[in-house]
Structure 1
């Protein structure tokens, strides 16, 4: 008789870890609530800005893409919360123990979380930004803010706005992995990313003003503008700075994930 063939052991591969994290992300109600809330805020505020705009008013000097995507400032808060829930949320429910038991090397779990979060947010915000811009232009076509997708810098600003929101969300995801607390991570994000630059901005030092150009929210603002902003970093420098902030945040979470118990 032929000996029974031993079953092939289950192998942990990057593809399987990605698939697992994608399934977790899309199966959570909080994912859809935050994504739809962010999209609704961007679209709703964009339509209000387009519908209430009048030529020659106080908003006439605002960049046309910044004007219609003004809701991104609120939308990115929703997506920052989503980034925190992706990592810190698993510690609050205890799910992280199961994840790390299945993937004992640990770091692939964090990389997969960051990857699926990036794809989900970048895709949704790119589509939302494009729809919002086109819808708002229906109201703006007879004003001095009438702009087309083919005008210089417009498509780049829409894509840059989505990239900026995504990278800000990755900063939040890294904070969640580092602090392992949803309330603590939200507080750290609000205090460190949103409030701290405003506090530092009142200091009368040129060095502080120069450094603030490369802080996360300021860099994200540069990416979402179709025209160069005065006294701001270049688009390439802003993208690099924001990428480094996001990378540093996720890297801090990775270091502590390796060193601390779940």
Structure 2
């Protein structure tokens, strides 16, 4: 029976196999990559020096497609967890791993690593492709320029962490539509509502919400009224960790 022992490596391997054998994984990641690359190349091909976009940060302008790609990654993160509750596969997963929590941690590790790798490669390819068109303009840049490589990697890390937050929400809500609604509410709607409140402290609070933290990560130049890149990354890590820990605690107490 020792050959059938449940080990962390085997649980991770099982989740890796599940992730890449589901058609939605390939479709979603390819969609995210295509949107980022297509929009980035379009911005480069249509750019003219001195135009309306001349004051934009080069990394923000190049990776503006991440605004759509991050939604695709978030949906995939939700499908990784809430999708199993929808199709009933979660019962088989929890039967195979009775302790339950290793399943969630393995999903997070596999999804986080896969999404970050795909997004980072996409960001680098998009940057180099856009620079073919930006050459000779005021947006010409290289990875060696101050802040550029940090912003490219930071953008990829930020989008991957948003996906981790979505994965945790999927495990909490256990419903694909409900988790998507919760993600949109927390990431997009709630910060806008908080900024309307007549309290100065709300600006500092919103700065550390996921969308505000991501803003500080994806720019090569300092962003006015935004947290520093290090603080922004820490905020996203804490958001992802908090949601995942909450999901793990409820997973331990609730029935499948």
Tell me if both proteins adopt one fold, taking TM over 0.5 as the criterion: yes
1:135-146 equivalences in 2 (<5 Å): 135-146=129-140
Partner of residue 230, structure 2: 236
Where structure 1 has 5 or more consecutive residues not aligned to the other structure, the ranges are 1-6
Structure 2: distance between partners of 1:256 and 1:205: 34
Q: CA deviation at 1:206?
A: 1.0
Question: Taking structure 1 as the reference length, what is the TM-score of the superposition?
Answer: 0.96
Does 2:166 correspond to 1:172?
Answer: yes
Q: CA deviation at 1:251?
A: 0.9
Does 2:252 correspond to 1:258?
Answer: yes
- Residue 222 of structure 1 aligns to a residue whose secondary structure is helix
Match of 1:103 among 94, 97, 101: 97
Partner of residue 113, structure 1: 107
Structure 2: distance between partners of 1:204 and 1:33: 43
Larger radius of gyration: 1
Match of 1:149 among 143, 152, 156: 143
Match of 1:203 among 197, 204, 210: 197
Partner of residue 51, structure 1: 45
Match of 2:59 among 51, 65, 80: 65
Q: CA 1:145–1:177 in structure 2 vs 1: closer, same or farther (change >3 Å)?
A: same
Structure 2: distance between partners of 1:8 and 1:26: 27
Partner of residue 26, structure 2: 32
Q: CA 1:245–1:14 in structure 2 vs 1: closer, same or farther (change >3 Å)?
A: same
Partner of residue 183, structure 2: 189
The alignment's C-alpha RMSD in Å is: 0.9
- Residue 38 of structure 1 aligns to a residue whose secondary structure is helix
Structure 2: distance between partners of 1:245 and 1:9: 38
Does 2:101 correspond to 1:127?
Answer: no
Match of 1:85 among 66, 79, 88: 79
Q: CA deviation at 1:8?
A: 4.0
CA contact (8 A) 2:215 2:226 kept: no
Structure 1: distance between partners of 2:30 and 2:3: 40
- Residue 227 of structure 2 aligns to a residue whose secondary structure is coil
Structure 2: distance between partners of 1:74 and 1:204: 31
Structure 1: distance between partners of 2:223 and 2:22: 39
Aligned residues: 256
Q: CA deviation at 1:249?
A: 0.8
Give deviations 1:159-210, integer Å, cap 9, x for gaps. 0000000100000000000000000000110111111112222333210011
Where structure 2 has 5 or more consecutive residues not aligned to the other structure, the ranges are none
